[in-house]
Amino acid sequence: MTDTKKIKTIAVLCSGGDSPGMNCAIRSVVRTAIANDLEIYGIQRGYAGLLEGNLKKMDASSVGNILQHGGTILQTSRCPEFHEESIRTEAAHILKRKGIDALVVIGGNGSFNGALALHTEHGTPVMGIPGTIDNDIEGSSYSIGFDTAVQTAIEAVDKIRDTAHSHDRTFIVEVMGRKSPAIALHVGLCTGAENIVFPTKDHNVDIDAIATDIKRGIKRGKGSSIIIAAEGEKVGLSHSIQKELLEKFDIDSRVCILGHIQRGGNPTANDRFLASQMGYTAVKSLVDGKKAIVTAFREGKVIAAPFSECLGKKFDVDPQMVDVVKTLSI
């Protein structure tokens, strides 16, 4: 693809884990494309679907009545083969054969790495739209789905707090976040959690500190405690905290693993608001001749940021936020 070639036909896919609001972004991409006289194809099931040639032409009505629904009408997948250069060459040939000039990828930083490799090796213009509940994409302070996931977890913890209070109980509530602390931090702050466990490489948890906090609460007449634990990379973290609290400190607790409910559900206003802007910005950037852009959220605005700034995973635990949680949960 030369710099002067005008984009006529584009395709959109979702890749990696799904997140609420992806449908909003798809709708926005499709309708902005149509408004700019572009042909638009939807690729089913991410890079795997691309390799199968699973593309279908979309029109304005293909995306009618979807913006309020979680999941993605295009479905998504993980495609380990896409790490191989020869497979990406195959993908570039498929795009060329189908007459696709550019690709919009909605996903996380793994999906962005795949898209950038395609661009670097074959010149295909690529636009990345941050879509992951983990909100861990470097270079964008927000990714689609995070707000909905946090809202879902908060509603669940509020319910757990009712029963925890009624029975003077300690609960360990496990939220999503294998490597990302974002959901745990926000849910912890918004639910008045007594403690938050962030994911760490060595799976170390400071049980003594958790027990001290619980005991201090009990001393001042507090019956219930909520510990929000990010799932981490090792299965069974919450149950091991539960076991240690009982064995070492005689603190009885219950575990509630929220799991995949955090990935589904109708997107919140915030997710719809940003997904709509990101889809629009992605297509507008292509029309403006941009070649490799991520629609990043920075300082309250959706902007077109260079791909190179959005490839890593961020791990933001703002010490001030942690202090707010600690200060308010005494």
47 touching ligand ADP, by CB under 6 A = yes
Question: Based on CB atoms, which residue is closest to ligand ADP, 80 or 221?
Answer: 80
- Where does 192-249 have alpha helices with state H? 207-219, 237-249
Catalytic residue among 18, 101, 134, 271: 134
Site for ligand ADP in 52-91 (CB under 6 A): 78-80, 82-83
Give φ, ψ of 10 to 5 degrees: -130, 165
295 touching ligand ADP, by CB under 6 A = no
Among this protein's residues, is 271 annotated catalytic?
A: no
Minimum Å gap between C-beta 114 and ligand ADP is 3
User: Which residue in 192, 185, 252 sits closest to 226, CA to CA?
Assistant: 192
Helix axes 182-191, 146-166, angle to 10 degrees: 40
Site for ligand ADP in 86-115 (CB under 6 A): 107-111, 113-114
Q: Select from 14-22, 52-60, 94-102, 140-148 the region that touches ligand ADP (CB under 6 A).
A: 14-22
Distance, C-alpha 110 to centroid of its chain: 11
Question: Based on CB atoms, which residue is closest to ligand ADP, 56 or 178?
Answer: 178
Q: Classify 186 as helix, strand or coil.
A: helix
Site for ligand ADP in 132-151 (CB under 6 A): 132
Minimum Å gap between C-beta 246 and ligand ADP is 36
Q: Classify 43 as helix, strand or coil.
A: strand
Question: Based on CB atoms, which residue is closest to ligand ADP, 48 or 172?
Answer: 48
Q: Which residue has the tokens 């909003």?
A: 24
**Residue 111: how many other CB atoms lie within 10 Å:** 28
Separation CA 149–CA 154 (nearest Å): 9
Which residues contact ligand ADP (rule: CB under 6 A)?
Answer: 15-17, 47, 78-80, 82-83, 107-111, 113-114, 117, 132
Q: Which residues are catalytic?
A: 134
